[in-house]
Amino acid sequence: MRLFSVVNREIPIAKRRSLTALFLLFFLFALPVVKSADFFPAGIDTVYASEDAAKPATPAGEGEVKAAQPEEKKKEYPPAPQLKESDYPQVKYINGRIMTWMVAQLHLWFAAFVLAVPIFVFIIEAIGMATKDKRYDKLAYEFIKVSLTAYSITAVFGGLLLFTLVVFYPDFMKYMANIFSPTFLAYALIFFAESACLYIYYYGWHAMETGFSKWAHLTVGWMLNVVGTMLMFFANAWVTFMMSPHGVDANGVFEGNLWAAIHNHLWNPINLHRVIANVAYGGSVVGAYAAYKFLSARTQEDRAHYDWMGYTANFIAIAALLPLPFAGYWLIAEIYAYSQQMGITAMGGVFAWLFITQAVLIGALFLSANYYLWCGMERSKGAVKYTKYIKYIAFVIVTCFLVWFTPHTLILTPGELKALGGPYHKYLGPLGIMPAKNTAVNIMLLFTFLSFMLYQRCNKIPTVSWASRGNAFQIAIFVTAIINIGILGIYYGYFTNTVYKVASSVLQVASTLSVIILCTVINIFMYKGAKEVAPLQWGKMPDRSQYALFLLAVSFTWLMGLMGYIRSALRQHWHVYTVFRDSSPDAYTPTIGYAANVVTVATILFMAFVIFIFWLSTLSGKKETAHH
Amino acid sequence: MKIPRLLLFVIIVAVVYGIFKAPGFFLKQPIPSSLILMYMFFVVITVLLWMTSTEEGMQGLVGPIKALIEDPGKKRLRNIVFVIVPLVAGFITYQQIKPSYEAPVELRSIHPAPPASIKVFNKTFSLQTLENPYRKLEKEDPAKFTQLVKEGGEVYFKNCFYCHGDKLNGRGHYAHGFNPLPLNFTDIGTIAQLQESFLFWRISTGGPGLPKEAAPWISSMPIWGNFLTEDDVWKVILFLYNYTGYVPRSWEK
Amino acid sequence: MKNFLKVVIFSVLVVVFYTLFANKYIPSIKPSPPPAEAKLDLGAMTMEQFIHLGDEIFHGKGTCELCHNPVGGRAPLLDQVGKTAEERLKDPRYKGKAKTGEEYILESMKEPSTFVVAGFGVKGTNDTQSPMPVVTSGAIGLKDFEVDAVIAYFQNKAGVNVTVELPKEAPSAGAEETAHVMVPAKTPEEVVTKYGCGACHKIAGQQGALGPDLTKIGAKKNKEYLRRAVINPGAEIAAGFPPGMMPPDFGAKMLAGELEMLVDYLAKSK
């Protein structure tokens, strides 16, 4: 036993060192590669000089083409190169695109996770400070511990991504570097800042537990979030520049305004969408972690703790999931506004079916989130009076979901086609377009929120005198909002023009959000000093409910992979949309099935890594228990 | 009387299935079988989730099945069920895989993505920026605009009406010779969802102008670029929107 | 361990369900492959594309069709030139260096006066001097690979074997120019060059001989007349020239500013 603890005590330090070393190694390793590929220009003015100097070394056929362009245009920046298939290095047995795709996807999953966790760790720590409830602090610490190893793996995959890009797409990276090289430097610096913040935040947790130093600790947490988000915004700028290039002319010649290139058309929509989605995603992964710990817990105390942790994580995930459809809608609207071709490719063309797949996944997310809440009512004996409502909520949610799932283009057998007289369906047709789906999703959100409200009040009875009026008022708000959403969706969606349609969807969102906010506020006052009739018994939760948390995490992961594919595939055969053509043999757009297969393999890899991380964290957990 | 959970489950699923089948029987608008399959999948899942959300419900649902398998007193019933279930499964499988004369399912996307630019009327048009040159007259010169719409109507009734119909509902004289039917412009899912440049593309390049992903190219739409002038096409687009009362998709207010 | 396996199996099943859904339920639509490069990639060009390029040059940039058309009869028709080139080599009047049909066509484009088809020479020179401008210089300025493309087009059209070789690599400057960019001309000389007026007219230092001499036109005609002559050439035909020679579509092609510049320039040419 003693030996055991000695051995294990060594692990965190060794782990920490080795992982830091690994990540530093990657970073240092990546830089020379970059340098040798002429990737970091020493100075923008000299880059062509060096390129010309390098000319004799390159094969004659290639060198001339590229050298001729900067000579002709005496401008500071070159146009986007016109590449040939031979400009893309081929590595035997490795498909460059799939490799880059997988690595980028894995990097993104981990990055989303490690960016999200500090956001709610910060919130939970603040709640813990405000309520002086030790549980929150412990929970926050456990969260950040989970994300620490993930952080190193994120960095490793980031380095690997850079490496694959430089190996498989050297000319593309060179072009991007010409425009974005100042941001690369900033990115590296901010990355170091983030590492510093994270290490101080985690390792200083127990040292900075009281008084002023706790405030300092919280500030570090805040900074960690700021630098982390900045990092993501930089990466988003590169990605969105590729989709909606700005600050370059039609030939891809950079006009010299870096801010214009960063602040391109889709930058802010993607920023918003990713921040929200990250939080939802981080919550779901931590939820899965808690669920696993719950299932394997041996003591009642552990069960209660991990039940509570799973509940909190799920709460975070769902709270972030609620506004996500709106952020997504904004993003798609902006894509449409940027380019009709891109918009129709996304919504009406090949990818229309991808959104059907997405609908299935999001339906699964909503159903499992609701299921978890319904099961959670078991925690209190007072819930009996609400369980009878579950079936109505289930009915509304499934109805909305079926509307949402109905595709615009139906798969018809010839017999059905004949019976209908054409590909249009009189009743399903109107359900296939956006107004129906907006209406459905808003109502679905409202009812998910209703599930949550019922759950919240299952163990309490309000004592304030206006309780019955308060309830009536809340019901009135709900009914009004649903009618409002319905009218907005049906009247403005079908009987006026598309400009109003977009505007009406904003109003729908506004009514949904105001219901959520109003009801929450009313609840806070109504349940102040409420009588607790049957206390929540944490840990009294059926095992099957935990699978809802796994479903949530797995579906989120897979869905992110799929949506990442479509975001990237919208560019079609362009590296930088309409400016820099992708001439590689893999420039074609794969089918959804192919993409799904790649995403599945990547998801399974990711899950394996996550299991590894959790296993590592159990090791240090064992150490703690052994130590005590 | 309280209906046993398992029975309730079966009843709900059967009733919902009946509801989905109803439009096909009574209204001649069958819901596609592929869609019913998915609908039913989610209905079954949701009903199961609802029923298993409480411990009591879970027992009500699983209890009878468990009893059927484990209870020695139910031997006869068990034997019957164990014969029927594989038979039903076998029958369904047979129905699924037996060869039929049904033609394979074809899928057409109704609004394929337009190309970036098209070549028609001996010019290259960039669809990204193309706008109807007459649209602005709607506000600036309503009298002229009405005149143009009228001319567009003439173009329509001289060329398009034979298939797309006098009410623009896709039920013209020749329409019934085609499968799929000509587009119904009064449907909210058609021109109301599109920008004018999309219509310009589809009218002037017709069926042969469809991109590959819109295959199979079962469209008899002629290449109107060969018969009409650029002006005619823009005018007829004005007419289509004016007649149906829809407003083309746009992003500025 | 049992829990672990259960969870892993459950998660994998979920993923497999999604994968099957995306592969089996969702119809598999193959997105259209990337369209062929719009810009020229000479290194990777097929012969068909090359011939097509020649076609475009013949009708467009090369301005060949202005004269080599069946209407005016001022220049020989070229749809059979791929075949007839060989016969021309045997013509006793032929004094050039070409040995093959391909070389003959090339020569006739670069040195038009080497051999003039009977009846098509400049008046009074007894078919020793060709009115055709040199296509590789001046107003037309075709690149070598473009000339080759036109030859390939001729040979293909006449149904003989295409003997020209595909270009090895892209002379990038040339490739860029072929991309049709509508840049407004800045000077009257540029207008003349851009629209190839010099191919037929004596104007701005160019020595076209098919149409009227325009170097002193400003002395005889006013602006109104000149403008009309560009926009609607058939309205009034200068004495001694056959009608229908000048393309009627300059009015549609030219930018308004260019037209005015040209008219001003002509009116001042005295």
Interface contact flag, A592 C7, Cβ < 8 Å: no
Look up the domain containing A23 and give its range: 2-36+75-324+553-627
Q: Residue B186's pLDDT is what?
A: 83
What does the pLDDT read at residue A402?
92
Does residue B154 lie in a domain region?
Answer: yes
Is pLDDT of A618 > 80?
A: no
Q: What pLDDT score does C42 carry? A: 61
pLDDT score at A596: 93
Nearest CA in chain B to A500: B253
Residue B108's pLDDT band (boundaries 50, 70, 90)? Answer: low
* Backbone φ, ψ for residue B117 (5° rounding): -145, 155
Alpha-carbon distance of A196 to A231, in angstroms, equals: 14
Chain B interface, best mutation among C20, C32, C249, by max B CB count within 10 A: C32
Mean pLDDT of C64-75: 72
Residues B160 and B89 in one domain: no
The predicted complex's ipTM stands at 0.80
Average pLDDT over residues C67-75: 71
Task: Provide the terminal-to-terminal Cα distance of chain A, rounded to the nearest Å.
Answer: 12
B121 shares its domain with B82: no
Total count of domains within chain B: 2
- Band of pLDDT at residue B46, cut at 50, 70 and 90: very high
- From chain B residues 137-176, the ones with a CB under 8 A of any chain A CB are 170
Give the mean model confidence (pLDDT) for residues A550-571.
Answer: 92
Closest Cα partner for B169 from B189, B152, B197, B154? B189
Chain B to chain C, count of Cβ pairs less than 8 Å apart? Answer: 15
- At residue A577's C-alpha, the angle toward residues A576 and A583, to 5°, is 65
Q: Looking at the domain assignment, is residue A452 inside a domain?
A: yes
pLDDT > 90 in chain A, percent: 23
User: Shortest CB distance from C15 goes to which of A85, A558, A587?
Assistant: A558
- CATH 1.10.760.10, applies to C184-270: yes
Close Cβ partners of A100 (under 8 Å, ≥ 6 residues apart): A161, A164, A165, A168, A169
Domain final residue, candidates A535, A568, A603:
A535
Are A207 and A101 in contact by the 8 Å Cβ rule? The answer is: no
* pLDDT tens digits, one per residue of B58-70: 888 888 888 888 8
Q: Are residues B122 and B93 in the same domain?
A: no
Q: Based on the domain organization, do B138 and B207 belong to the same domain?
A: yes
Do A523 and A576 fall within a single domain?
A: no
A135 and A174 belong to one structural domain: yes
Maximum Cα interatomic distance, chain B, rounded to a whole number of Å:
89
Smallest Cα distance from C27 to chain B, Å: 8
Tens-place pLDDT, residues A190-240: 999 999 999 999 988 888 877 788 888 989 999 999 999 999 999 999 999
* Residues C174 and C143: beta-carbon distance below 8 Å: yes
Max mean pLDDT among A583-592, B80-89, C188-197 falls in B80-89
Residue A207 within any structural domain of the chain: yes
Question: Tell me, what's the pLDDT at A616?
Answer: 77
- Label residue A623 by pLDDT band (50, 70, 90): low
Q: Name residue C174's amino acid.
A: G
Q: Tell me which range, B140-149, C162-171, C230-239, is most confidently predicted by mean pLDDT.
A: B140-149
Taking only the tens place, the pLDDT of each residue in A482-540 is 888 888 888 777 766 555 666 677 788 888 888 988 998 988 888 887 787 777 888 88
Cβ neighbours of residue A258 closer than 8 Å, sequence gap 6 or more: A179, A180, A182, A183, A247
Residue A226 forms part of a structural domain? yes
Average predicted confidence (pLDDT) for chain B: 83
Find the CB nearest A412 among B28, B54, B105. Answer: B105
Same-domain check for residues A480 and A572: no
- Of B18-27, B217-226, C244-253, give the lowest mean pLDDT range: C244-253
Q: Which residue segment(s) compose the domain that B20 sits in?
A: 5-97
- Is the same domain home to B141 and B224? yes
Residue B210 has pLDDT above 70, yes or no: yes
* Mean pLDDT along residues A165-178: 90
Q: Which of A102-116, A582-596, B107-121, C78-92 is least confident?
A: B107-121
Which tokens in the block code for residue A326?
Answer: 């709106």
Please report whether residue B139 resides in a domain.
yes
Q: Sort out which chain C residues have CB atoms less than 8 A from B211's CB and list them.
A: 32
Claim to verify: residue A559 and residue A529 sit in the same structural domain: no
Domain end: B97, B131, B158, which one?
Answer: B97
Query: pLDDT tens for residues C13-63?
Result: 999 999 999 888 887 777 777 776 655 556 667 777 788 888 888 877 777
pLDDT at residue C72, rounded to an integer: 62
pLDDT at A498: 57
Count how many residues are written for chain B. 253
CATH of residue B137's domain is 1.10.760
Please report the pLDDT score of residue A73 as a whole number. Answer: 41
Q: Strands, DSSP E only, in chain B?
A: 117-120, 123-126
- Whether C37-181 and C184-270 share one fold: the answer is yes
Structure token pair of residue B236: 């007829």
Q: Do C32 and B107 touch (CB under 8 A)?
A: no
Q: Is residue B105 part of a domain?
A: no
Contact (CB<8Å) C3/A295: yes
Which of A535, A567, A592 is the endpoint of a domain? Answer: A535
Residue A66 has pLDDT above 50, yes or no: no
What is the percent of chain A with per-residue pLDDT over 70, rounded to a whole number? Answer: 84
Confidence class of residue A14 from pLDDT cuts 50, 70 and 90? Answer: very low
Give yes or no: residues A275 and A203 share one domain. yes
Residue ranges covered by each domain of chain C: 37-181, 184-270
Q: Which of B97, B128, B150 is the last residue of a domain?
A: B97
Q: Which residues of A40-67 are buried (b: 16+ CB within 10 A; e: fewer)?
A: ebeebeebbeebeeeeeeeeeebbebbb
Whether chain A has a CB inside 8 Å of the CB on B179: the answer is yes
* Residue of chain C minimizing CA distance to B106: C27
Confidence (pLDDT) at C144: 81
Q: How many domains does chain A have?
A: 2
Tens of pLDDT, residue by residue over C202-246, are 887 777 767 788 888 888 888 888 888 888 887 777 777 766 677
pLDDT of residue A18: 46
What pLDDT, on a 0 to 100 scale, did the predictor assign at position A52?
34
Query: In the predicted model, what is the mean pLDDT of chain A?
Result: 80
Q: State which fold the C37-181 domain adopts.
A: Cytochrome Bc1 Complex; Chain D, domain 2 (1.10.760)
pLDDT surpassing 50 at residue A16: no
Q: Is residue A48 part of a domain?
A: no
Question: For an interface test with B, which of A332, A398, A495 has the most B Cβ atoms less than 10 Å from its Cβ?
Answer: A398
Q: Residue A193 domain-assigned? A: yes
Residue A15: alpha-carbon gap to chain centroid: 28
